[in-house]
Amino acid sequence: MSNTPLSGYTILDLTQFYQGPYATFMLAKAGADVVKIEPPGGESLRLMAPPGKETSMPVAMLNANKRGITLNLKSDKGKDILRRMAKKADALVENYAPGVMDRLGVGFSVLHEINPRMVYASATGFGLSGPDRNNLAMDFTVQAASGVMSTTGYADGPPLRTGAPYVDILGGAHLYAALMTGLLEQARTGVGRLVEVAMIEAVYPCLATVLDQYHRAGRKIPARTGNAFANHNRAPYNVYKAADGYVAIILVTETQWQNLLRAMGRSDLSDDPRFISNTARVENYAATEAVVNGWTNVTTRADIFAATSAAKVPCAPVRDIEEAMNDPHMHGRGTLEWVDHYDYDYPIVLQNSALRFHGTDKVPTTLSPHVGEHNRAIYGEWLGMSDADLAGLKAEGVI
Amino acid sequence: MSNTPLSGYTILDLTQFYQGPYATFMLAKAGADVVKIEPPGGESLRLMAPPGKETSMPVAMLNANKRGITLNLKSDKGKDILRRMAKKADALVENYAPGVMDRLGVGFSVLHEINPRMVYASATGFGLSGPDRNNLAMDFTVQAASGVMSTTGYADGPPLRTGAPYVDILGGAHLYAALMTGLLEQARTGVGRLVEVAMIEAVYPCLATVLDQYHRAGRKIPARTGNAFANHNRAPYNVYKAADGYVAIILVTETQWQNLLRAMGRSDLSDDPRFISNTARVENYAATEAVVNGWTNVTTRADIFAATSAAKVPCAPVRDIEEAMNDPHMHGRGTLEWVDHYDYDYPIVLQNSALRFHGTDKVPTTLSPHVGEHNRAIYGEWLGMSDADLAGLKAEGVI
């Protein structure tokens, strides 16, 4: 038995798309045996794979280290098989719309009676209760409905979506968190609970800063400000054009302003009353920005970063996704690794879990499963079915 | 003893700003006794509160339900007191820069010797190891360095920051997740581990969709596309102007296109070859957008939402932060609540945890503590110090 935190745990994973699969991916990387249960044709996200493939990058990234089986939950035999597996599992995770599992006869109340020890985790867009529970939820629509989208973009333009589907991933991290809390309780009491995460609620705390500016402005909603701080209340605080791209620079303390002046070779301005405090710089916003741009526009990202780092000024190059994917830091830490994948003609980068448990064995990456790849292992070895049973279920469209 | 999942657990919380406090906020709402340990002047985020106040909205939102004490970790007596508390605690969470706790003499290796059972959770921007470990990390700079910022904005403009600091919150959710995994292991083995989360790694999975488009395009980085899908590969998929604001509409299946046509009263286009498939609509992008705008521009958000909901088309009104704060759905579910707070002249909205444990007692909201509010309770009742001890420590600047 390995020394990973979740070794010995078996998780039934009925989730699709991003939120659920991200949570169960981290479970698998923490040592759990995650059994991904897909409809016989594969989960919905598979349908968006390139022609002739089972895998897109999200499938590959979010389903590594899982075992994959097929099961038709609309058939009576399929439901029966799920109930048999639930008897032996430690937890079940699903992200169907509210009520779907109940209508199928395999909801929490039924499964809890079969196995009171099993934790049941539900992930939805808006929750299992409340007036909006049936709203269709995807990352994009939750970005809109939650208020976060309204804070991104320019004052004279529309609210802007964040290109990276962070609401899905945020929901997935919360789902893992809720499930793990349920498993801890199970370890203490022997009983598993229904735990629940709604994406709309997982994203709400992201509003904290903008809500703060709302209250400071006398309960007035700040206009969108592009890359500037809400209500332009801080300077410098922006994405600045460099000679070869962009850099993000933000100042939090006055010491940092003096340090930035030194980094820019502009200590001649250290006593200039226009820039002597954040309040002064906000009042002289354009002049402040001009000073910073005067330096960054003619300096490379690397030189800007080296100078600000030495001066302890918060700054980062804006990196593209190829730079991120090749990041020597994350590759060096073992977080990212190059992997040969059966659905790609060249090596791709996969991530290990962002949860790091010092002193445990690394869980070596195994590829996202083919649809139904582990039917024999799970149904045969774990549930004790014969090859003839499996062939029959296959012929009937149950698996 | 309450039936909350974490009742009986005591957590030492040395975290500041957003990421750490969000994790420990959820711990407190799950029933743990979270002891927030601040420097005698209050944590860094307090310094940004309005003049004369201890509290800004992030302080109020992310520190509810904690007990607050002061402790000067630069003094020998302060370090000694921390070690005494570590002896009795179940976990410690900190988000200092790598190496700070070790240099203070209260790092993992020291505390693990004092109390091998205690879980030690570290949250940083870039991790405890690797070449970038000392980079200054805040939400903004990690948005830039991680690659996610490069995917937001317009092709002819700069990369755009997301107005809501989601990287901080994402880091916090992962931190809770890592800590809870450590507590589960503690329950099984009796030993606590060093667990670690780096923001840069918590945000990487958000790149999955854009990386997919990168690979599909022959390993070519997609240009920024505003609210449209990467490489404009889907239509309709946008934020559309309504008569009274904006709505987000995205289509995933062909059935949804037919349903959207019906919702718009444009079933006359159902066989139109320009729109007959996603491929056709992407080829006729401007014409497709014109059809949708022709309807949304003259229709209210509410009417658009009602029609698309009835037709099962994914859509959401883009809501502002005041609408989010007043959301009847989240208030109805008990996630949001109106609270009187000592640092505000009017009631404010606070959030309960996005982690919902069915069947447990609700943890009633208590306000974010005053700086040092619970010094007597913790140092007196928990550690057994006398009032004279406390007065002495106060006079010496230790607490």
**B49, B60 Cβ separation under 8 angstroms:** no
Shortest distance, CA B397 to any CA of chain A (angstroms): 24
| Tokens coding A339 | 């992997």
* In the predicted structure, residue B1 carries a pLDDT above the cut 80: no
Chain B hits for A356, Cβ within 8 Å: 127, 178, 195-198
Question: Across the interface, do A357 and B158 touch by the CB < 8 Å criterion?
Answer: no
On whether any CB of chain B is under 8 Å from the CB of A354, the answer is: yes
Mean of pLDDT values over A142-160: 97
pLDDT band at B230 (very low <50, low <70, confident <90, very high): confident
Q: Is the dihedral of CA A301, A303, A306, A309 positive or negative?
A: negative
CATH number for region A230-318: 3.30.1540.10
Spell out which residues of chain A touch residue B357, defining contact as CB-CB under 8 Å: 178, 181-182, 185, 193, 195-196
Percentage of chain A lying above the pLDDT 70 cut: 100
Out of B195, B200, B329, the one facing A356 most closely (by C-beta) is: B195
Chain B residues inside the 8 Å CB shell of A197: 354-356
DSSP, res B34: E
DSSP B68: E
CB nearest B149 (choices: A6, A318, A355): A318
Q: What is the 3 state secondary structure string of B222-291?
A: CCCCCCCCHHHCCCCEEEEEECCEEEEEECCCHHHHHHHHHHCCCHHHCCCHHHCCHHHHHHCHHHHHHH
The residue among A3, A240, A241, A329 with the most chain B CBs within 10 A of its CB, best to mutate, is A329
Strand residue runs (E) in chain B: 10-13, 33-38, 67-70, 91-94, 119-124, 194-198, 237-242, 245-250, 315-317, 336-339, 348-351, 355-357
Domain boundaries, chain A: 10-204+325-395, 230-318
B384 in A contact zone (CB under 8 Å): no
The verdict on a CB contact (< 8 Å) between A212 and B56 is: yes
| Yes or no, beta carbons of B129 and A333 under 8 Å apart | yes
Q: What is the pLDDT of residue B225?
A: 94
Contacts of B362 (CB under 8 A, 6+ apart): B334, B352
Partner-chain contact B212 A354, CB within 8 Å = no
Residue in chain A closest to B216 (alpha carbons) equals A50
What pLDDT score was predicted for residue B159? 98
* Cβ contact A144:B239 at 8 Å: yes
| From B13, B33, B168, B343, active-site residue | B168
User: Residue B57: which of A178, A212, A335 has the nearest Cβ?
Assistant: A212
Query: What pLDDT score does B2 carry?
Result: 81
Q: Which among B26, B101, B126, B136 is the top mutation candidate for probing chain A, defined by the most A β-carbons within 10 Å of its own β-carbon?
A: B136
Distances (CA, A) of B64 to A203, B310, B371: 18, 39, 13
Q: Which residues 238-277 in chain A show a CB within 8 A of chain B? A: 239, 241, 246-248, 250, 252
Contact B58 A224 (CB under 8 A): no
pLDDT by residue (tens digit) across A67-96? 999 999 999 999 999 999 999 999 999 999
Mean of all residue pLDDT scores within chain A: 97
For Cα atoms B42, B44, B47, give the angle at the middle one, nearest 5 degrees. 75
Terminal Cα distance for chain A, rounded: 30
Question: Is the CB of B193 less than 8 angstroms away from the CB of A143?
Answer: no
pLDDT above 70 covers a percentage of chain B that reads 100
Q: What pLDDT was estimated at residue A1?
A: 57
Catalytic residue (choose from A13, A90, A168, A343): A168
Mean predicted confidence (pLDDT) in A241-252: 96
CATH fold for domain A10-204+325-395? Rossmann fold (3.40.50)
Residue of B nearest to A146 (CA): B324
The verdict on B132 touching A (C-beta cutoff 8 Å) is yes
What does the pLDDT average to over A17-29? 98
Burial label for B77, CB within 10 Å (0-12, 13-18, 19+), is: middle
Given this model, what pLDDT does residue A2 score?
81
pLDDT band at A231 (very low <50, low <70, confident <90, very high): confident
Annotated catalytic, B168?
yes
SS3 B307: helix
Residue B312's region, left for phi above 0, alpha for psi from -120 to 50, else beta, is: left
CA A52 to CA B43: how far, in whole Å? 55
- Over the stretch A201-223, which tens digit does the pLDDT of each residue have? 999 999 999 999 999 999 999 99
Question: Is 70 exceeded by the pLDDT of residue B52?
Answer: yes
The pLDDT score that the predictor gives to residue A390 is 96
Region B95-122: mean pLDDT is: 98
**B330, A201: Cβ pair inside 8 Å?**
yes
Coil vs helix vs strand at B117: coil
Identity of the amino acid at B82: L
Determine the distance in angstroms separating the CA of B391 from the nearest CA of chain A, rounded to an integer: 32
Q: Which residues of A touch B55 (CB under 8 A)?
A: none
Residue contact B160–A239, C-beta within 8 A = yes
Secondary structure of residue B53 in the 3-state scheme: coil
* Cβ within 8 Å, pair A149-B239: yes
Give A-chain residues touching B237 at CB under 8 angstroms.
Answer: 140
Bridge partners (DSSP) of residue B239 are B248
